[in-house]
Structure 1
Amino acid sequence: MGQKVAGTCFIKVDGDQLVITGGVEAPLSAVKRETIVLGHYKEEDLIPYVIVDAVKTANFPRAKLVAGSSMTVTAELADGTVYVLSGAYLVDETKVTGDDAKVSLKFEGIQGDWQ
């Protein structure tokens, strides 16, 4: 029997569901490893994040997203797993494109948890 591993995802920011165009990106691990020499590595903490392309609909929460400095971003993936980013805020330049109303959003935060 087949198992659903990809497909429709859902994003909520402080309870407001966003309309998204496709993929959602979140880190699988809280650390990044780099080999120094064979068999020895260093480990660095990763900043928890969620990246998503949303659509600027009539009820798009622009003001909340721009002003938010401690939001909760919930990403529910098609396989049923959920990533919760706490203490989230927007980073990088956030802009909307006029031809397709796409808004690329990158949230970083204090803590990211897979549930």
Structure 2
Amino acid sequence: MGKKVAGTAYVKVDGGQVTVTGGVECPLSDKKRESVAPGFFKEEDLVPYVKVTFVDDPDVPIKQIMAATNSTITAELANGRVYVLSGAYVVDEPSSKGDDGTLELEWHGIKGAWQ
């Protein structure tokens, strides 16, 4: 029997759903490990994040999203996994692509958790 592992994903920004057209990316861990010698490693904290490409619908509250510094982003993936990012704010260089009518945003936050 086949299992669904990819396909339609759903993303909510402060409770309002956006229409995802591209990928949704969420980290699997909150730590980055690097070996310093066989059997020894160092560990760094990673900033939790969500990256998404979605439809530039005129109803999407862009000004509100860009100004927010304490958002909750919920990503529901096609395989049933759900990632919730809290205390989120937009980072890097968000963009609107007129040729395909999409927005690309990345949020960083205080806490990210798989549910």
* TM-score interval (norm. to shorter): over 0.9
State percent identity of aligned pairs: 55
Whether 1:105 and 2:105 are equivalent positions in the alignment is yes
TM-score, normalised to structure 1's length? 0.96
Matches of 1:26 and 1:39 in 2, distance apart? 28
1:44-55 correspondence runs (5 A):
44-55=44-55
1:59-98 correspondence runs (5 A):
59-98=59-98
Match of 1:38 in 2: 38
TM-score, normalised to structure 2's length? 0.96
Matches of 1:6 and 1:99 in 2, distance apart? 25
Q: Secondary structure at the match of 2:97?
A: coil
Deviation at 1:111, TM superposition (A): 0.1
Deviation at 1:22, TM superposition (A): 2.1
Q: Which runs of 4+ in 1 moved over 3 A?
A: none
Give unpaired runs (5+ residues) of structure 2.
Answer: none
Matches of 2:34 and 2:86 in 1, distance apart? 27
Q: Secondary structure at the match of 2:7?
A: coil
- Letter of the structure 2 residue corresponding to residue 71 of structure 1: S
Deviation at 1:95, TM superposition (A): 1.8
